[in-house]
């Protein structure tokens, strides 16, 4: 992790990023208590809970992994703020987003686990200025998962649900049967949608940190007839956590 902490004689007067705080194997973030509980429940050692803005986090040990576990709050801004706060106090080897998501692709089923290989914003639209839909001006078209983390997730054995790998999109609007057609048209390869992943991917990209998102599908954004049922957030998060723990070697 890098954080602005003191100066190192830079003639510009701008502070040089310095490393501080504990080294951890990963910062693992979930938006809700239900999404971080599968990890805290398995912890064999846990440091004090610390509140930073809307976020709450603690360093925990799970198996052989040391993790900064963060409950960020829902939404892109809450997620980004929580991760920046975490990076100001720790030095992680990777960042992992976990929890629940809505199934976007027609082939996705409730209970599946989606491992994102790329991430973009559902609501970003600067196409009038020749940017690609989903691209924030000045930033990449999308953000890619770290290859090593992705490979580790591919080797994971989930206790339930099919593990699917593909694109994730994120935004601050819920995707329902009212607006799902437009999102599917704009992002035909996207498997799932949530409200935090791409913001976390962008922050990780900015800090040059390996990133991965793993989400359990709790509902379908635009179900076909006979498909509409829900899985509790806690159960969807538990399924995603099983893959994340395998990635961590915990």
Query: How far, in Å, CA of 51 to CA of 36, rounded?
Result: 15
| Bridge pairing between strands 190-194 and 163-170 | parallel
Q: Which helix (H) or strand (E) holds 203?
A: helix 197-206
Can 109 be counted among the known catalytic residues? no
Q: Output b/e per residue, 42-72; b: 16+ Cβ within 10 A.
A: ebeeeeeeeeeeebbbbbbbbeebbbbbbbb
Alpha helices by DSSP H, 88-179: 147-155
Can 185 be counted among the known catalytic residues? no
Q: How many CB atoms lie within 10 A of CB 107?
A: 10
Helix (H, G, I), strand (E, B) or coil at 134: coil
| Catalytic residue selected from 34, 35, 112, 194 | 35
Query: How far, in Å, CA of 192 to CA of 155, rounded?
Result: 21
Q: Specify whether the CB–CB gap between 119 and 101 falls below 8 A.
A: no
3-state helix, strand, coil in the chain (%, to 5): 25, 30, 45
| Catalytic residue selected from 109, 125, 144, 219 | 219
- 215 phi/psi in degrees, rounded to 5: -135, 140
Which active-site residues does the annotation give? 35, 219
């Amino acid at each position: 992790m890098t954080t602005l902490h003191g100066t190192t004689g830079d003639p510009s007067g701008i502070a040089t990023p310095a490393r501080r705080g504990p080294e951890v194997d990963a910062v693992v973030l979930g938006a809700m208590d239900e999404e971080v509980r599968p990890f805290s429940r398995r912890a064999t050692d846990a440091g004090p809970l610390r509140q930073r803005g809307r976020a709450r986090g603690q360093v925990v040990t799970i198996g052989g992994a040391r993790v900064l576990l963060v409950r960020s709050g829902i939404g892109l801004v809450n997620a980004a703020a929580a991760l920046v706060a975490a990076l100001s106090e720790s030095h992680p080897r990777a960042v992992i987003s976990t929890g629940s998501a809505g199934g976007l692709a027609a082939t996705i089923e409730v209970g599946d686990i989606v491992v994102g290989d790329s991430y973009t914003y559902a609501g970003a639209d600067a196409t009038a200025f020749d940017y690609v839909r989903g691209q924030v001006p000045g930033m990449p078209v999308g953000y890619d998962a770290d290859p090593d983390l992705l490979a580790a997730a591919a080797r994971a054995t989930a206790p339930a649900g099919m593990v699917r790998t593909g694109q994730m999109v994120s935004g601050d609007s819920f995707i329902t049967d009212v607006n799902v057609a437009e999102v599917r048209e704009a992002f035909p390869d996207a498997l799932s949608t949530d409200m935090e992943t791409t913001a976390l991917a962008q922050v990780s990209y900015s800090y040059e940190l390996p990133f991965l998102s793993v989400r359990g599908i709790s509902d379908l954004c635009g179900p076909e007839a006979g498909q509409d049922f829900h899985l509790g957030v806690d159960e969807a998060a538990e399924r995603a956590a099983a893959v994340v723990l395998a990635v961590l070697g915990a």
